[in-house]
Structure 1
Amino acid sequence: MNKKGTSAAVNMKGLDALDRHLDQLWRIQKENNEKQQQQRSPKEWEMDPAKLLVKQAIGRGAFSQVHRGVYDGQDVAVKLLDWGSEEHEADRNGVDSLRTLFTKEVSVWFKLEHPNVTKCIGCMTGKPEIKFERKRDQVGVPRNIAYQPGGTLTSYLKKHGRTKLPFPTILKLSLDLARGLRYLHSGHVVHRDIKPENILLDQNQTLKINDFGVATRVPPGGKLMTEFAGTLGYMAPEVFENKPYNRKCDVYSFGICLCEICCCPTPYANIRFSKLTSSTLYKHTRPNIPEWCPSPIADLMRKCWDTDPNLRPEMEDVVSMLEFIGSEAVLSDHQDNMATPTHQPGCLSMVRQAFDPVTNVIARC
């Protein structure tokens, strides 16, 4: 081959390499443009700050404040999250972690639609310009939910703490909670922090599950969770022991809540779970069920808080059990047992299971 042919072949190879390089640069630029577009595009749950008016505070937490508010003409509850300073790198990393958790919570919560689940109307990120009735309240990142004038289940039970709730009311509240959890589990959502403080009541005393801060969506196929999540006393033993667990952790929490609804507002009145470091003791500690509690309700509690998660019923089965208990025949058999107007002194007791040779009663009010 002559020099001219050799030079042409070399030039063709160079052009091919240049084309490949330009194609690679074009793909990288396209991917960067798509990422920037996604970052600029508002999330489906992003709210318009101009439509929100934040009113008086109605509650406070360690890192948040809850206010009444109005969004686009609708009464809402506004939770303002205070993420702190971003002046230092460590602070920025902490804020980034909180934003990640916040986004995860909202992405799960926003898509939920059920009469027994609080509706997440939307959220805002960054530092949006929103209107406050009082300037001194201007702090935090807002998250809006439908306003529930009935307050928390905790406050409701404390308000009625000196008298037992009517049996129909107990069944209604229990069924509301069970149906809400059945809905979550049917969509592969595990709440992981079911307790009266995270349950709200509307103006019709309809119970609604709230606060999805540690909730997670589990892919179909039964993937087990390992994170330590929840509240001591309501937390299932397998979670406390750092063992893999599934949605049955919510069933355990439901059983404890059922006891509170039926028997008393404070089943753990004199127990400090922060000092209860023994996994064996925690595993076998349960609320005491008063003798006057109808046996079908008591049996359901025991099934739900069984130590073995495999023996706990699914929430679908819990709903069926409660609906059967609420049938006229069963209701008439047990309604009279709930008629005693005074608060029973033994309902705040905590007992250890029979295996424990130590004294049976841990605390009594």
Structure 2
Amino acid sequence: MDVKAIVDVKPPTKTENQEVEGGLIPKVKGTGSVSNKDVFFRADKIDLKSLDVQLEKHLSRVWSRNIETQKPKEEWEIDLSKLDIRHVIANGAYGIVYRGAYDDQDVAVKLLDWGEDGIATTAETAALRASFRQEVAVWHKLDHPNVTKFVGASMGTSNLKIPSTNPSDGPNSLPSRACCVVVEYLPGGTLKQYLIRNRRKKLAFKVVIQLALDLSRGLSYLHSKKIVHRDVKTENMLLDIHRTLKIADFGVARVEAQNPRDMTGETGTLGYMAPEVLDGKPYNRRCDVYSFGICLWEIYCCDMPYPDLSFADVSSAVVRQNLRPEIPRCCPSTLSNIMRKCWDANAEKRPEMEEVVRMLEAIDTSKGGGMIPEDQSAGCFCFAPARGP
């Protein structure tokens, strides 16, 4: 047997493998000047399963990089060299949001990291990215004063440097499969934060209607483009310096399916989710109408719906007991009727958002009607005392 060198190796671990062009080989200690081509390995001593897993990860990374570099640049793709990411402003279920600048414009940057957690399969990750690419192409064309302006996105951010929470660690870099979305930065914060600040003194009726109209017009526009937001809540609405409301966070938005049965599953936030969504039944854009009704109550009352119930209790009661927030007696019937119509248990009975816009536009705010009359400092006598600080 003409053997130049036989090396008895233990099963390789991740730290004992090295990448070479075309694949992975075990790193062998103590071989002196023996070259790779002169070395034979005992197959019974090599963990081939481990090598297969590592080789698959390696090829997946190479494949992902190659795919991104080969595809022509989309019109919505941003130039990452012009993007300056500064600091974290929010953490959500679908990614981290940073404040930054793009081409001298203040922006918010949302980073989405799919497929690097070892849980999602390659096929699942590919499906997520394909869906993201399809929907970004739709968002790019949206143009409405009550929808956060979309600046651009990137499907490959491995070269993007993000600031570390610990300055001594230096900047972080993202895996090759990460994506980022860049939108205009709005300094007024979220609608939720604004309502909390006004929890005790409440809002003038004309402000309630202005915010409600902004939200309803934005949703009506999205629905006209066949987009269902699916997570309408006051935390996902932003305010600019003029208190104009803009819909944000399209993390779970999707183009409405032709077949309603293609849209199922619990997507959204408990307390705002429509009964059909909570119950796992097919749904359509009217799930946003339901969520709007809850937001309308929240804007009027500057309070939280169901503050004393657990998530499980809310879910069960909304579906089985028709639980809804209690409307104050001082709420004008023109507004309370809109709330009730929007959160009707039967989705088909809920109005379209364009109809909601018309109903809100018809409300007369000149005589007040809010929780606090404009000429008084006292709150609405018919509502329970304010909870919280």
Q: TM-score, normalised by structure 1?
A: 0.75
Q: CA contact under 8 A between 2:201 and 2:372: conserved in structure 1?
A: no
1:82-134 Cα deviation digits (max 9, x unpaired): 33636x68564554354344334423322211110111211112234235566
Correspondence for 2:372: 338
Q: How does 1:257-272 map to 2 (within 5 A)?
A: 257-272=295-310
Q: Which of 206, 209, 218 is matched with 1:168 structurally? A: 206
Query: In proportion to residue count, which structure has more helix?
Result: 1
Q: CA contact under 8 A between 1:249 and 1:309: conserved in structure 2?
A: yes
Take 1:257 and 1:277, find their aligned partners in 2: how far apart are those partners? 17
**Residues 262 and 124 (structure 1), Cα distance of their counterparts in 2 relative to 1, 3 Å cut:** same
Q: Is 2:185 the partner of 1:147?
A: yes
Q: Which of 348, 351, 368 is matched with 1:313 structurally? A: 351
Q: Which of 127, 138, 159 is matched with 1:129 structurally? A: 159
Give the residue type in structure 1 aligned to 2:365: L
Q: Is 2:152 the partner of 1:114?
A: no
* Number of residue-to-residue matches in the alignment: 312
1:230-255 Cα deviation digits (max 9, x unpaired): 22211111221222222211111111
Deviation beyond 6 Å, 4+ runs, structure 1:
220-224
Of 235-244 and 218-227, deviating more is 218-227
Correspondence for 1:59: 90
Other structure's SS at 1:290 match: coil
Other structure's SS at 2:283 match: coil
Take 1:344 and 1:181, find their aligned partners in 2: how far apart are those partners? 29
Correspondence for 2:269: 231
**Residues 126 and 112 (structure 1), Cα distance of their counterparts in 2 relative to 1, 3 Å cut:** same
Take 1:94 and 1:224, find their aligned partners in 2: how far apart are those partners? 17
1:8-58 Cα deviation digits (max 9, x unpaired): xxxxxxxxxxxxxxxxxxxxxxxxxxxx89952012221111111111211
Q: CA contact under 8 A between 1:229 and 1:239: conserved in structure 2?
A: yes
Alpha-carbon offset, residue 309 of structure 1: 1.6
Q: CA contact under 8 A between 1:195 and 1:257: conserved in structure 2?
A: yes
Correspondence for 2:103: 72
Alpha-carbon offset, residue 162 of structure 1: 1.2
Take 1:92 and 1:279, find their aligned partners in 2: how far apart are those partners? 39
Give the residue type in structure 1 aligned to 2:224: S
Alpha-carbon offset, residue 150 of structure 1: 0.8
1:219-276 Cα deviation digits (max 9, x unpaired): 6797873343222211111221222222211111111000000112312212222344
Q: Which of 342, 355, 364 is matched with 1:304 structurally? A: 342
Give the residue type in structure 1 aligned to 2:114: W
Q: Which has the higher contact order (CA 8 A, sep 6+)?
A: 1
Give the residue type in structure 2 aligned to 1:211: D
Q: CA contact under 8 A between 2:331 and 2:370: conserved in structure 1?
A: no
**Residues 104 and 344 (structure 1), Cα distance of their counterparts in 2 relative to 1, 3 Å cut:** farther
Q: CA contact under 8 A between 2:277 and 2:287: conserved in structure 1?
A: yes
Other structure's SS at 2:366 match: helix
Gaps of 5+ in 2: 1-66, 165-169
Of 174-183 and 59-68, deviating more is 59-68
Give the residue type in structure 1 aligned to 2:245: L
Correspondence for 1:50: 81
Of 39-48 and 124-133, deviating more is 124-133
**Residues 38 and 263 (structure 1), Cα distance of their counterparts in 2 relative to 1, 3 Å cut:** same
Q: CA contact under 8 A between 2:289 and 2:352: conserved in structure 1?
A: yes
Take 1:90 and 1:220, find their aligned partners in 2: how far apart are those partners? 27
Q: How does 1:1-365 map to 2 (within 5 A)?
A: 39-62=70-93, 64-83=95-114, 85=116, 92-93=122-123, 95-132=125-162, 135-136=170-171, 138-139=173-174, 141-218=179-256, 225-276=263-314, 278=316, 281-282=319-320, 284-325=322-363, 330-335=364-369, 338-339=372-373, 341=377
Alpha-carbon offset, residue 346 of structure 1: 7.9
Take 1:91 and 1:48, find their aligned partners in 2: how far apart are those partners? 29
1:155-185 Cα deviation digits (max 9, x unpaired): 1111111111111111110000010111111
Q: CA contact under 8 A between 2:159 and 2:173: conserved in structure 1?
A: no
Alpha-carbon offset, residue 80 of structure 1: 1.9
Alpha-carbon offset, residue 348 of structure 1: 7.4
Take 2:211 and 2:311, find their aligned partners in 1: how far apart are those partners? 26
Take 1:280 and 1:130, find their aligned partners in 2: how far apart are those partners? 44
**Residues 239 and 84 (structure 1), Cα distance of their counterparts in 2 relative to 1, 3 Å cut:** closer
